Amino acid sequence: MTFTSKMRAIWSRTDSMLCVGLDPAPAKFPAALADGPDRIARFCIAIADATAPYACAFKPQIAYFAAERAEDQLEAVCAHIRRAHPDIPVILDAKRGDIGATAEQYAREAFERYGADAVTVNPYMGHDSIEPWLERADKGVFLLCRTSNPGGDDLQSLALADGSRLYERVAELAAGRWNRNGQLGLVVGATYPAELARVRELAPALPLLVPGIGAQGGDVEASVAAGRCADGYGMLINSSRAILYAGAGEDFAAAAGEAARLTRDAIRQAHR
């Protein structure tokens, strides 16, 4: 299955648009996982298993693993998800942005080493920065468009000569000539619902990866109203810290599962 067909299937089957972000910070782990060379993998696998019934995707953030010299544990987490939850896509949050042979190596890392179904990419070096990713037509590529951080205004909201904004140009390109294989999506923050609605207007069929709810304060109801497709889906609404650290005791995984269920239900309620 291609990434886009896999997403359509899981939206239809689960009625969920919750993406669970895997951003493991060992300082926040429960005491039961305070030690051990594989504690990051054990934490993330427990979270994945507990939240899988409520998730449409998992999004491991590579920096949290790399900073701990735990790339091998990221491989183990991705392999576990593919084996135990094969219908749930894995989106590697890497935000890569380079060209040519270097971008080809980043693509190998994401899709061969980690076996990701999709990846986040920074498109602000232009078409040649995404071209190597498009060679793998079965994979998804989410381009940074209007990100959830306030500093995104510095560049993404700049007015172009025709009066449009830079992020709008990215959305138009992603929905148009860049999307030669139908594999592109966009990253748009829940913290900017007006811009989210504008991106959906410009890219009516693209999947949108939407960070910013939970700890960042984005509103679920406003995000769903602004970003859903005509069929009511089309979004992967990400929550990380609010789910990962919902509990600090031995029942941390169960607490994460309950937080995921409540978030999934809030998203469901918003799109009905």
**Of 53, 47, 50, whose CA–CA distance to 21 is shortest?**
47
Predicted pLDDT of residue 150: 83
Is residue 119 within 8 A of residue 94, CB to CB? The reply is yes
Annotated catalytic residue within 6, 28, 59, 95: 95
* Domain count within the chain: 1
Half-sphere exposure in the Cβ direction for 145 (13 Å, CA): 33
pLDDT of residue 215: 62
Answer positive or negative: Cα dihedral of 205, 187, 211, 72: positive
In this prediction, residue 271 carries a pLDDT of 73
Q: Whole-prediction pTM value?
A: 0.95
| Direct distance between the N- and C-terminal alpha carbons of the chain, in angstroms, rounded to an integer | 28
For position 152, what pLDDT does the model report?
86
List the pLDDT tens digit at each of the 272 positions of the chain: 899 999 999 999 999 999 999 999 999 999 888 888 999 999 999 999 999 999 999 999 999 999 999 999 999 999 999 999 999 999 999 999 999 999 999 999 999 999 999 999 999 999 999 999 999 999 999 999 999 888 888 888 999 999 999 999 999 999 999 999 999 999 999 988 999 999 999 999 999 999 987 666 678 999 999 999 998 899 999 999 999 999 989 999 999 999 999 999 999 998 76
Yes or no: say if 60 and 44 are a contact pair by the CB < 8 Å rule.
yes
Whether 139 sits among the annotated catalytic residues: the reply is no
Separation between Cα atoms, residue 245 and residue 252, nearest integer Å = 7
Q: Which domain holds residue 186?
A: 3-270
Residue 197 belongs to domain with CATH number: 3.20.20.70
